[in-house]
Structure 1
Amino acid sequence: MKKVILFTVLIVLALFWSEPNIAQCSMCRAVVENNDSNIGQGLNNGILYLMGFPYIMIMAVGILLFRKFSKDHKQAAA
């Protein structure tokens, strides 16, 4: 029980103790506004790639854990 409370406190502290990261958004906007080429599409694709990769990793770990626990459950039932 103490581990759950400690974990919850650490998560809450991490959420409220983060520093604002607003500068990157204005820098990206300035780069896109100052260039006449098709750099905006490449920037959007890069953002989507960086955003999607952690979800793919989490899903892969979830599938592996599901398979492991379902195999263990089947062996325990037999």
Structure 2
Amino acid sequence: MASANKPTVVEVDDNGRRWAKSSTSDVNGGNCIEVATDRELIRIRSSLNRRNAIVTVPVSAWSPFIDLATRLTPQNPASIS
């Protein structure tokens, strides 16, 4: 059984990127994202539509990106400051 803190690799793509999602996702994929990392970039995609758009974030921007994403909610969409 996977640890709750350890992501599960779901695919290695044609470019050799190892896409992972949280081990806390449900067995049907849930509303989850998948992440692939390298030394310079973090790539993010939907687990429900893997071939659609991929968001690419520089590693240096990951922490601010996560901070912003956790502050944005449907009730407070303009909380960017």
Q: TM-score, normalised by structure 1?
A: 0.28
TM-score between both structures, scaled by the size of structure 2: 0.27
- The structure with the greater share of residues assigned to helix is 1
* Greater RCO (Cα-Cα under 8 Å, separation 6 or more): 2
The structure with the larger Rg is: 1
More strand, by proportion: 2
